[in-house]
Chain A
């Protein structure tokens, strides 16, 4: 059914949202299925420039890990495998339907499908899902995953089966399993978006008898279409078809499960990965960071390569946080002076210009439902900075001649260094003198810029950083960076937004069951953050991906913002 790739414009059903094409063209896999195929067989070859945090669904926080995890795990619900915006739709996976909420959004009920089995043929029950959630609560053992279940479930002191030493989970009252099919979650506060939590791989079933804690990642018992054949930690692993996966129990997700085998090499040199992709020797760079800056230049300048590339906007914003703990940024007008004075074009240039994304006017990335553009500081009209407005804000702040402060950035990141330098230049024009301070990236959040006391003592007034959504929803993007109650002593991702108004808006959104109204609140929160001038938005990021010729059924998923890994196939 795939058309040959040599036609002059024929066979290309171009258009946004849906349709398919087999003509190689730039962005052919954005919004459509490129090279559609139902042909099964072959080996899909993937490589990772580093390694997973963990292959264990209860211990995983990497976006690509969640995308890939659907090959061997099934959670209660998941994002639909479809091109374009349709991918942001949650669809039932293990569950028969999306969650049924009580009127107060504090009780959520799911019913499992019939006939679900693990790779060894044993049936999957609601208890296994409950157990999977229970074990993921223990962050002393499974350290990596998000803490949303701990934040929302009414745990009553329950700390997970490893500490409770009771596999029957009698003390885990926040989740009920009245029968083998039904699972009921009891929350301590309303959460209208609970289906997003049911999407987390922590809801993928784990048979209690097979759980080995930190070692479970060595052999995750498969519930999805593939299972582990071999797993050499840190080196490579191989997935093969799970004979006990029944596609009839999986009508809604859009999984294709085309290849017979999936090989993944770990810790592969990034430059070598790019070469192998361009040489058709490798199918997917699994960590979804896109090609390197060098390869990007090579690809966009060569039409024969560019037609196999896709540029995908990411749910990630590069920004600079203004630290209200450091004077004079406790004064809103001094913060606004920076917002006006900053050279926004210079910010984008630091991230590779148009290849790296577009100038951000506010924090929330465009693909997040509820997004609306807010341009409070003349970003569009004066992209190189508004000197006059900046000066009048400085006057209002009582510092008409400017002031001195420090800019921190992650030493290993060239783009952040360039950003700091660009800011230094543009702020100097209004008399704000800055000194640059580089810190190692691995300790940036925990020991330095994200450590409240260290940031204050070192006078880090401006901190260059970036943030990506846990999932494409206002809560998934905003909650970790604007909720003042989330500020800890160290390891912060909220770099200093402290506005009770924003906190109460967050609470309102959590209670709002109407999706349209809820999304509007996320947009309002974003606008309030901009009014408060706690964050200087820099760049809405985008990434360039390369799709080798032999890959079939390729499209960018708007949920994972890279190729959907469950639909890919290979030409033999």
Chain B
């Protein structure tokens, strides 16, 4: 098991390099293929009325005039050894792991990301709990009461949940619950500034539900399908024949078996959550990593984009690793093999 985890971690680190290298290439390689020079790239990061000389100085300062592999090498070196940054006024040292300095704000990227992480984690954890519990419970009940009103109603809601975009459900729920009914705080309320857990949850309840709705729907449908299939299996009939209580049959034998594919998807989704967080944080104006990603991409601020990509990739890799380990817990076949 230890060897397995170790191997997975090594693979994860390699994957991170590949991801950052590709991001780097998209950002710098593609415009160059289109004929953009180092000065053209630098012209994004100077003022409206910069002279040619200023643009060229900026290109040199940001290292655009160096070959791509040197620029990428500097980024990697910064990760392990830290980097020095000339602000034009002083030389700042950015300790390892250094994700570089923003081309626009000239602030180091890592503290920004760490500063915004609690918001995104608050959003992601709450939403994940909601969608997993809500989705699985709905799916189980729908499967057991197949064809009932509950089944049909919940599957219709699930279909709507998958189909409606976050910026629609988000703005609609803000209109109703924040502005018409005034039950929840307005958009832009930072949960991290809350004085107590109640305020924290109040600021997040709408974003949680909005984000969870998108995923829960999919989980309900998956669980329902899985449960329908499992409950037809021979071992369920055997369990019933042994005289086990129906609850035990459903939860211990049926659900457990149906849960394995759900867990796989959950791991992937948890990692990919950054995508959902981008839309949710933008709709609700939450100052998290998703919003940071949007600002970074809009401003073509490469160090920030790289930072967000790296954090996103780490999320995905870790979530997958945890899920793989959890398989053993959920599925006896994996444990015994």
Interface set of A (CB-CB < 8 Å, partner B)? 47, 50-51, 61, 138-141, 143-147, 162, 211-215, 232-236, 265, 267-269, 271-272, 275-276, 279, 281-282, 442-443, 446-447, 451, 480, 488-491, 493
What's the Cα separation between A256 and B36 when bound, in Å?
A: 50
Is the contact region of chain A dominated by helix, strand, or loop, or is it mixed?
Answer: loop
| Cβ A235 vs Cβ B174 within 8 A | no
| Cβ B284 vs Cβ A269 within 8 A | yes
- B50, B107, B291: the one within 8 Å of A491 (CB): B50
| Cβ A281 vs Cβ B52 within 8 A | no
| Cβ B44 vs Cβ A442 within 8 A | yes
Chain B residues with CB under 8 A of A145: 47
Which residue in chain A gives the minimum CB-CB distance to B285? A268
Contact string against A for B residues 44-63, beta-carbon threshold 8 Å, 1 for contact and 0 otherwise: 11111111101101100100
| Cβ A276 vs Cβ B179 within 8 A | yes
- B57, B61, B87, B167: the one within 8 Å of A215 (CB): B87
What's the Cα separation between A214 and B52 when bound, in Å?
A: 21
B196 close to chain A: CB less than 8 A: no
Which residue in chain B gives the minimum CB-CB distance to A213? B89
Q: Which 10 A-B pairs have the closest CB atoms?
A: A213-B89, A141-B88, A446-B43, A272-B187, A214-B106, A268-B285, A235-B287, A143-B47, A279-B179, A147-B49
Chain A residues with CB under 8 A of B167: 271
What's the Cα separation between A490 and B105 when bound, in Å?
A: 23
- A139, A147, A275: the one within 8 Å of B179 (CB): A275
| Cβ B188 vs Cβ A268 within 8 A | yes
Chain A residues with CB under 8 A of B188: 47, 265, 268-269, 272
What's the Cα separation between A215 and B287 when bound, in Å?
A: 21
| Cβ A140 vs Cβ B88 within 8 A | yes
5 A-B contacts, Cβ less than 8 Å apart?
A139-B47, A146-B48, A146-B49, A234-B295, A451-B40
Which residue in chain A gives the minimum CB-CB distance to B46? A143
8 more A-B residue pairs beyond the given contacts A51-B295, A272-B186, A447-B40, with a C-beta to C-beta distance below 8 A: A138-B88, A143-B58, A162-B89, A212-B89, A213-B88, A214-B105, A269-B187, A493-B48
What's the Cα separation between A232 and B298 when bound, in Å?
A: 20
Chain B residues 280-324 with CB under 8 Å of chain A are 282-285, 287, 291-292, 295, 298-300
Interface set of B (CB-CB < 8 Å, partner A)? 31, 36, 39-40, 43-52, 54-55, 57-58, 61, 87-90, 105-107, 112, 167, 171, 174-175, 179, 186-188, 190, 282-285, 287, 291-292, 295, 298-300
What's the Cα separation between A268 and B85 when bound, in Å?
A: 31
Chain A residues with CB under 8 A of B58: 140, 143
Q: How far is the CB of A211 from chain B (nearest CB, A)?
A: 8
What's the Cα separation between A342 and B311 when bound, in Å?
A: 51
Which residue in chain A gives the minimum CB-CB distance to B35? A454
| Cβ A276 vs Cβ B287 within 8 A | no
| Cβ A281 vs Cβ B285 within 8 A | no
Chain B residues with CB under 8 A of A143: 45-47, 50, 58
Q: How far is the CB of A355 from chain B (nearest CB, A)?
A: 22
| Cβ A214 vs Cβ B89 within 8 A | yes
Which residue in chain B gives the minimum CB-CB distance to A144? B47
Chain B residues with CB under 8 A of A141: 87-89
Chain B residues with CB under 8 A of A443: 44
Chain A residues with CB under 8 A of B36: 447
Chain A residues with CB under 8 A of B54: 139-140
What's the Cα separation between A315 and B46 when bound, in Å?
A: 25
Chain A residues with CB under 8 A of B175: 275
Q: How far is the CB of B259 from chain A (nearest CB, A)?
A: 37
Residue from A138, A267, A443 with most neighbouring chain B CB atoms (10 Å): A267
What's the Cα separation between A480 and B47 when bound, in Å?
A: 14
What's the Cα separation between A269 and B241 when bound, in Å?
A: 58
Which residue in chain B gives the minimum CB-CB distance to A443? B44
What's the Cα separation between A249 and B68 when bound, in Å?
A: 56
| Cβ A271 vs Cβ B287 within 8 A | no
Chain A residues with CB under 8 A of B298: 442
Q: How far is the CB of A252 from chain B (nearest CB, A)?
A: 30
- B186, B283, B287: the one within 8 Å of A234 (CB): B287
Chain B residues with CB under 8 A of A147: 47, 49
What's the Cα separation between A140 and B46 when bound, in Å?
A: 8
